[in-house]
Amino acid sequence: METHMKKTDSEAFERPILTVDVVLLTIHEGRLQVALSKRGADPFKGREALVGGFIHVGEDRDAEACAARVLKEKAGLREVYIEQLATFSGADRDPRGWSASIAYIALVPFERLKPAVGEGVALVPVDETRGLPFDHDRILTEALRRVRGKGAYSTLPTQLLGKTFTMSALLEVYETVMGVRLDQSSFRRKFAELDLIEEAGEERKPGRRPATVYRLKGKVSTFDRKL
């Protein structure tokens, strides 16, 4: 434990550990699931935990870039939707000492995550995780609160689908994320009125009426009206 104390520099304090943790979420088999990876190093070695890692000062432009790098290295993902959740800190959360972890939420369609499942990450339904190391239980809880709360007021859940999707698929995702039933009719109307999506073709499945395929207009955005 080095202390960095050089009396010539009045502000040379011991620097805490700084890491990034990512709550990587996807929907699989109709359930919201979180990607966990087995820890390879000492504290809690061998236990499943949120994907994360140390900031690489030389490599990462900022913490979000670090989160992106972690996702690429551990789950083979590129250009995933990422947003900062909060920073969790304290003297006790890591046995190695005072630490802070900048937590991010990432959403990805299952198809893109599939190759990594088994090869580095395991998928666990969010309501079946228990006893994660560090304060990862709390981080996950906060992430779910955010995602569920923001769901009804933003296009965030679209990030769990591919670039295009049908209305039914979209509805299903919103229902899964928020854990409630939504009225199909109102759902369609609101998405249309808010001008959030645009048509992008048709989907034909045997035995069914063809469905319009949509694409998100612009980036993930927030709005006032509730879905």
Partner DNA sequence: CCAAAAGTGTTCTTCGTACACCCATGT
Partner DNA sequence: ACATGGGTGTACGAAGAACACTTTTGG
30 binds DNA (CB under 7 A): no
Out of 184, 201, 217, 218, the residue judged to bind DNA by CB under 7 A: 184
Segment contacting DNA (CB under 7 A): 3-11, 45-53, 118-126, 184-192?
A: 184-192
Cβ-in-10-Å burial (0-12, 13-18, 19+) of 160 comes to buried
Which one among 212, 217, 218, 221 touches DNA, defined by CB under 7 A? 212
Stretch that binds DNA, among 32-40, 76-84, 93-101, 163-171 (CB under 7 A): 163-171
- Helices 184-193 and 167-178, axial angle in degrees (round to 10): 110
Q: Considering the rule CB under 7 A, would residue 218 count as an interface residue with DNA?
A: no
How would you classify the pairing of strands 31-38 and 122-125? antiparallel
Toward a second copy, which CB reaches closer, 57 or 118?
Answer: 57
Residues near DNA (CB under 7 A), total: 19
CA-CA distance, 179 to 202, in Å (whole number)? 28
Q: How far apart are CA 139 and CA 85, in angstroms?
A: 9
Residue 10 binding result from DNA, a second copy, none, given CB thresholds of 5 to 8 Å by partner type: a second copy
Contact 196, 155 (CB under 8 A): yes
Q: What is the token pair recorded at 187? A: 């759902």
Is the Cβ of residue 12 or residue 192 nearer to DNA in the bound state? 192
